[in-house]
Amino acid sequence: MITHAPAKINLSLKITQKRADGFHELETLVLPLPSLSDVLTFEPADSFSLHCDTPGVPTDEHNLVSRALRLFEENTQQACPYKITLQKNIPHGAGLGGGSADAAHTLLALNELSSAKIPLGTLASWAAELGSDIPLFLYQSPCWCRGRGEIIQPTSLSWKKPLLLFKPRFDIPTPWAYSKWQDSQEVQGISYLPQSLGDIRLFNDLERPVFEKYRILAELKSFLLEHPATTGALMSGSGSTIFATLRDQAEAPALQAEVLREIDPTLWSHLAIF
């Protein structure tokens, strides 16, 4: 079996408070990116093993794919002897949910391969044990996520706007970004105001702590906001990806070239189409 695990972006992310359990109460609108996916291949084997040709990706029991498989085995009392090959296309530490998507789609694939027929809601409760944002990837739909991210409400949002994504070579640890939120300050001259795109408002409360430390991301967002080819720009999740909504897909190559020339020639980029 071959399954694709799409990335996501956060169209909005609002933090309301820090919870007693150390997590943060939030509300976020998440959009899957079908044009940017990791690929997982499941092959029957004598025992479970995980393989990945991307340097630096762990293939032991620390990987979320391995942890998802072990969790499925534990809860179903079924052995899952598969050789799983993971092709990484989603950059790490980017705010795009790559590892979480891989874990969620491992659970979905094992549910199908084993014919266990575990209800989606039950899989979501298992997934929440591994990470707050893993359940949302099970629904394969735009979603509102609340609580610490584990309360999922799929929505009928119809998104057709092309997006251009940029990520610098550095990663941003999600726990760090949340830990700095409460005491962070806005960078002077940078707009954090919500941007209206029809019925959607683009904003991200984590831009404040992240931009305070990583000024290049603030500069990148401002550059994209001011460019005539865009209708909006925002950081996804805890970063370090900044995305722009485009007026016309045909303008993407010129904008990409201009950003690489003016901001950083080493930026990773991706055009997301729907």
What is the CATH classification number for the domain harbouring 178? 3.30.70.890
Mean pLDDT of 101-127: 97
| Helix (H) / strand (E) containing 136 | helix 134-138
For residue 24, what pLDDT is reported?
87
- Expressed as residue numbers, the domain containing 74 is 2-154
Task: Look up residue 90 and give its amino acid.
Answer: I
For residue 117, what pLDDT is reported?
97
Mean pLDDT of 211-223: 98
Choosing from 154, 177, 192, the residue where a domain stops is 154
pLDDT digit string, tens, across residues 128-176: 999 989 999 999 999 999 998 889 999 999 899 999 999 999 999 999 9
Q: Do 126 and 72 touch, CB atoms closer than 8 A?
A: yes
> What integer best gives the mean pLDDT of the chain?
96
Statement to judge: residues 130 and 255 lie in one domain: no
For residue 193, what pLDDT is reported?
96
Statement to judge: residues 118 and 196 lie in one domain: no
pTM: 0.95
For residue 53, what pLDDT is reported?
85
Q: At residue 78, does pLDDT exceed 80?
A: yes
Statement to judge: residues 187 and 246 lie in one domain: yes
Nearest to 13 by CA among 245, 165, 208: 208
Structural domain count, the chain: 2
Q: At residue 20, does pLDDT exceed 80?
A: no
Mean pLDDT of 244-259: 98
Statement to judge: residues 120 and 195 lie in one domain: no
* DSSP-assigned beta bridge partners for residue 122: none
Sign of CA pseudo-dihedral 63, 69, 73, 75? positive
Statement to judge: residues 79 and 167 lie in one domain: no
Pairing label, strands 82-87, 268-272 = unpaired
> CA–CA separation, 28 vs 150, rounded Å?
11
Statement to judge: residues 126 and 219 lie in one domain: no
> What ranges make up the beta strands (E) of the chain?
2-18, 24-44, 49-52, 82-87, 143-147, 151-154, 163-167, 195-197, 200-204, 230-235, 242-246, 268-272
Statement to judge: residues 8 and 141 lie in one domain: yes
Percent pLDDT > 90 in the chain is 92
Active-site residue set: 8, 133
Q: At residue 223, does pLDDT exceed 90?
A: yes
Statement to judge: residues 178 and 120 lie in one domain: no
Cα 124 → chain centroid: 17
Pairing label, strands 2-18, 200-204 = parallel
Statement to judge: residues 215 and 87 lie in one domain: no
Whether cis (ω within 30° of 0) applies to the bond prior to 238 is no
Statement to judge: residues 98 and 189 lie in one domain: no
Choosing from 154, 186, 203, the residue where a domain stops is 154
For residue 202, what pLDDT is reported?
97
Mean pLDDT of 66-79: 98
Percent pLDDT > 70 in the chain is 100
What is the CATH classification number for the domain harbouring 84? 3.30.230.10
Choosing from 106, 126, 154, the residue where a domain stops is 154
Statement to judge: residues 183 and 135 lie in one domain: no
Statement to judge: residues 147 and 235 lie in one domain: no
